Structure 1
Amino acid sequence: MEKAMETGKAVLPVLGIVLLLCFSIAPISPGILMAFLVGAVFLMLGMLLFSLGVEMSMTLMGERVGTCMTKTRKLGIVILMGFVLGFIITVSEPDLQVLAEQVPSVPNLILIVAVAVGVGIFLVVALLRMLFSVALPPLLVAFYLAVFLLAFFVPDSFLAVAFDSGGVTTGPMTVPFIMALGVGIASIRNDRHASDDSFGLVALCSIGPILAVLILGLIYLPENQEYVPDAIPEFSSSVELGRYFLEELPEYMKEMAISLLPIVLFFVLFQVIFRLVPGKSLIRIGIGLVYTYAGLVLFLTGVNVGFSPAGNYLGQVLAALPYRWVIVPIGMLIGYFIVRAEPAVFVLTKQVEEITDGAISAGAMGLSLSIGVSVSLGLAMVRVLTGLSIFWFILPGYALALGLSFFVPKIFTAIAFDSGGVASGPMTATFLLPFAMGACSAVGGNIITDAFGVVAMVAMTPLITIQILGLVFRVRAAKAEGEGQEAYVSAFEGMGDMDIIEL
């Protein structure tokens, strides 16, 4: 019941906003509206099953594999397994196929392999950082400095797609496993920074695809090929709508099976060799995997078939209004609520609350993410309306985020950079990106340079808002400590000499 309530709180606000727009300033066709409503039902059922399944399977699998890798005490095994895991989960990620289609000047196979190698390398870097307790901020500064140096020499048509590509490592199937892997590895360490270092895997893995696409942008000349979005489907009857959902369902069943298979095989390999969990736990994991798989199939079917057309159509209608600027506050409002419907956000906020023993609550995390995504959607809509380069937003944004990393507690930096990847999940790709694309086409902009980049913007702003939360946390902690010391001193000042002697 609790999870059903959480799911409702995450989805119903978005549903309400869209319905309000549809019945007021942004009318859409009945067929698209019906598809959106059916998609919302799929989405809620999917999120419910997914959240149950992750608790039963992915979290335990990741933690046990991470612990086992560390206990081998063999650096070569950690490096090899880390690279292989990063490579195979990236190759099997459905979003990577979509990314490859967005870069027509680079052969699909080359881009897929390059991105997968990038993720594999950076997953190894992340694992070694945890094992040797290397501070995260200097690594982030060094790698993002390399990213922005490359970005200066890359054509504009590659920039937005390159920064969007960081989202390919944050698929809802892989994020829970990778995050749990970090918890498992950190659990072996006994130092006081172990829990801080359990975060940061997603943060570093997200850099690999960006660097890979930027490097390919230096090698391959961009083609003057305009991106043509998919046509918005129309439905003349409920039977036709139902048939469309049923026709699309097998496609997402296949995608999720391909995405889940490498993780399952990786776990099975470790289970056969090291006997990670007993038989009863294996049964629980198996049931959890079924829930996870079914949940994501329903979720992705709902958002792709129902939400994506509605997002595109809404963007077109709102941007075509005489007062088109209204799309900025509306985008911010949608962004505030929609991040709560990201499947991996559930996993992140709960894990943060558990590892910090409630010091960083799920509510505070959720609020910080919502504010961050709200700001990012507002800025993304400004880009759509003005045609400003994404560089003018990404460069100062990351500079601020990296600067903050030296002034906030370590754990907040790791959580912030992880959350950027987690926030830019399937809801961003299937609703917010089509929303921006629809608006861009309505104002006559360039979809590749002006609409793409939404994922990057959504991934950037939580880095700032969550670290600001860290600053508030630090200030409050210092204030509480100061008040405690003052009370301690004043208590002694009020005593006489004999009272102190008696103490």
Structure 2
Amino acid sequence: MLRDVLPILLVILFFQYAVLRRALSNRLRVAAGFALVIVGLYAFVVGLKLGLFPIGGSMAEQLIQFDNWLWIYLFAFAIGFATTMAEPALIAVGRQAEEAAAGKIDGRAIRLLVALGVAIGITVGTHRIISGDSLHLYVTLGYCCVIGMALLAPRYITALAFDLGGVSASAVTVPLVTALGIGLATHVEGRSMLLDGFGLLVFTSIFPVLTVMIYGAVMEKISDRRKTAS
């Protein structure tokens, strides 16, 4: 972990001393901060290996044994919604978007919509693994819908929607979704862990973009009607 963080530290020190030619203020505080980052990242990686990855795969294996696909769909939807709501990056982006939009966007609504989009996406991706349909077909249709919605949604929401599509697949969501995808691909005959297992992550980025842009378009129409009525 020290080796992974070292390039970041070297870049910062190079620009601080070689370009800016100024000494760091609060050196002890900065050093303590980097030490905590290294310890925290190490604990996070170990936690993924010991906890999130195994439990995701274990849940997929146990749910398949029920011989009832409905439970798998419900688990995929619930875990997608719950993990996305817990994403720290999504919380931060939602607050910043609310401040920047000056009342046009509700940060809590954005979080709920992104979580709903991820939940729907993972459910659709889970169905694709079970049914064996083409991943390329689903991705192509999904992004065709995204492009069409981008033409209808207000401009101020489009960039945010695409950004949130990337934020949704972050530290908390990725481990469990990956483990679920690999677990399903392992226990469903004829599926590939690389194509089908990791392919489930694609769906966490497509559907949040759609839900956020739909929200923007609906709110824009409501705002226009209120202006017309007044």
Q: TM-score, normalised by structure 2?
A: 0.86
1:410 aligns with 2:155: yes
1:477 aligns with 2:220: no
* Cα separation, 1, equivalents of 2:167 and 2:131: 28
Q: TM-score, normalised by structure 1?
A: 0.42
CA offsets, 1:311-369, max 9 Å, x none?
10110111122213320122111111111233432332233233334542321121011
CA offsets, 1:463-490, max 9 Å, x none?
111111211231232233323xx3xxxx
1:329 aligns with 2:74: yes
Asked if structure 1 preserves the Cα contact closer than 8 Å seen for 2:162 and 2:209, the reply is yes
Match of 1:395 in 2: 140
Residues 1:409 and 1:269: Cα distance change in structure 2 (over 3 Å): farther
Asked if structure 2 preserves the Cα contact closer than 8 Å seen for 1:388 and 1:450, the reply is no
* Cα separation, 2, equivalents of 1:292 and 1:346: 20
Structure showing greater Rg: 1
Asked if structure 2 preserves the Cα contact closer than 8 Å seen for 1:423 and 1:458, the reply is yes
Q: CA RMSD in A?
A: 2.5
Asked if structure 2 preserves the Cα contact closer than 8 Å seen for 1:335 and 1:374, the reply is yes
Residues 1:258 and 1:471: Cα distance change in structure 2 (over 3 Å): farther
* Cα separation, 2, equivalents of 1:384 and 1:300: 27
* Cα separation, 2, equivalents of 1:434 and 1:397: 23
1:439 aligns with 2:156: no
Asked if structure 2 preserves the Cα contact closer than 8 Å seen for 1:389 and 1:450, the reply is no
* Cα separation, 2, equivalents of 1:285 and 1:361: 35
Asked if structure 2 preserves the Cα contact closer than 8 Å seen for 1:389 and 1:449, the reply is no
Asked if structure 2 preserves the Cα contact closer than 8 Å seen for 1:369 and 1:465, the reply is yes
**Aligned residue runs from structure 1 range 62-211, under 5 A:** none
Unaligned runs of at least 5 residues, structure 2: none
1:312 aligns with 2:81: no
CA offsets, 1:296-321, max 9 Å, x none?
33333222321111110110111122
**Aligned residue runs from structure 1 range 254-333, under 5 A:** 254=1, 257-272=2-17, 273-274=19-20, 279=25, 287-333=32-78
The residue matched to 2:172 in structure 1 has which SS?
Answer: helix
1:460 to 181, 206, 229: 206
Unaligned runs of at least 5 residues, structure 1: 1-253, 487-503
Match of 2:84 in 1: 339
* Greater alpha carbon shift after TM alignment, 283-292 vs 329-338: 283-292
2:165 to 420, 429, 437: 420
* Cα shift at 1:283: 6.3
Residues 1:433 and 1:268: Cα distance change in structure 2 (over 3 Å): same
* Cα separation, 2, equivalents of 1:414 and 1:364: 17
Give % identity: 26
* Cα separation, 1, equivalents of 2:44 and 2:104: 31
How many residues align? The count is 228
* Cα separation, 1, equivalents of 2:23 and 2:85: 32
